[in-house]
Amino acid sequence: MKLRRVVVTGLGALTPIGNTVEEYWNGLINGKSGAAPITYFDTTNFKTKFACEVKGFNVQDFIDRKEARKMDRYAQYAVVASDEAVKDAGLDLEKIDHDRVGVIWGSGIGGLETFQEEVMNFAAGNGTPKFNPFFIPKMIADIAGGLISMRYNFRGPNFTTVSACASSTNSLIDAFNYIRLGHADAMVTGGSEAAVTIAGMGGFNAMHALSTRNDDPTTASRPMDKDRDGFVLGEGAGALVLEEYEHAVARGAKIYCEIGGGGMSADAHHITAPHPEGLGAKNVMLNCLRDAGLTPQDVDGVNMHGTSTPLGDIAESKAILEVFGEHAYNLNVNSTKSMTGHLLGAAGAIEAIASILSIKHGIVPPTINHFTDDENIDSKINFTFNKAQKRDMKVVMSNTFGFGGHNACVLVKKLEM
């Protein structure tokens, strides 16, 4: 069968460096760090005392107070970002076929704060199980997609992808596939996460995954730098409206770019560590190129998973060299996690948005906080260190890799009529 073309017509973002797409993009190209001391709880006894929190966010500016109380923060973020994306897409809710519009969302953890609070309240009580009646619907990882569909009466395919830090890239790929296979005309997709909590910070600290650069949080996320010491936890949401090309053209929609392809793979190696030679990362990029019908030489840039972990950055840079060969030195490679921190299940969504906007504006956001080259990483690769670079970007790949060895890669490209 002939596959249908899929384009992006709407974007929404709620991030540690900006609460709208415009603010987020301005933060990216100006090299803004979202890292700061944690404000949500007392970090006195924690190894890491900082994170990339969403700032200046008042949920009641967007959602009725009574309804907001029924939602974990991760779901609130999802609704707010999707509202921006739907509005940006200009979907006429009176005219569209609601049975042909779906929601596929991603979250690696879901309502962690809700789970934490309910268990702590129980532990502090007298043993009587007095739980909030909204405990389960607030906690479950699929509820965000359900809430978005209810908000707009979108009755098409609806589910949530859970693949740790690859979750929202998987959601994007699934949405892309449902449209190109003819099962929907438009999809709201993306991901959200709100794991800056006592349990989230404590858990990641226990596995020595987080940076402990408490004396200088803004420079703690330093992908590819010799002195990197772990990732910085972030939170927020990214939302995209994907649409079948002819459907978008027929209604005169603004089109950002085309989704070229998606790839998936597994490391099959370790519960948390990447394959040391970047095998899964290599395979996922090759699978993505194959799906898009493109060659490595067609690609202009790669938004790395680039978490600022000692093992991960080396493995991914090796994979890029394996996939692209000499062309790797012609690429603009970057890691926007140097600014936003790691949004876990929402990372793929906001990084896909960064890749799309780099095509729209002809600017590659920087990888900030680079001070010292790592002898284990090829310094001839242009990692777009410390300052945004202008470049006509036609094809960009965005990588995400999750605990459990889950790898997902999406390719976006300038629209060809």
* Closest alpha carbon to 239 in 171, 137, 164: 171
The answer to whether 210 and 47 are in contact (CB under 8 A) is: yes
Of 165, 257, 288, 409, which one is the catalytic site residue?
Answer: 165
Distance CA 414, CA 391 (A): 13
Active site residue 165: yes
Of 247, 275, 342, 406, which one is the catalytic site residue?
Answer: 342
The answer to whether 152 and 93 are in contact (CB under 8 A) is: yes
Distance CA 279, CA 287 (A): 12
Active site residue 342: yes
State both tokens at 198. Answer: 């006592």
State both tokens at 83. Answer: 């509202």
* 152-169 CB burial, b ≥16 within 10 A, e <16: bebebbbebbbbbbbbbb
What are phi and psi for residue 181, nearest 5 degrees? -90, -5
Of 247, 275, 305, 370, which one is the catalytic site residue?
Answer: 305
* Closest alpha carbon to 111 in 155, 74, 147: 74
Q: Are strands 395-402 and 301-303 parallel, antiparallel or unpaired?
A: parallel
Distance CA 261, CA 2 (A): 15
Active site residue 370: no
Residue 391's CB is within 10 A of a number of other CB atoms, namely: 16
Helix, strand, coil abundance in the chain, percent, nearest 5: 35, 20, 40
**Which residues have a catalytic role annotated?**
165, 305, 342
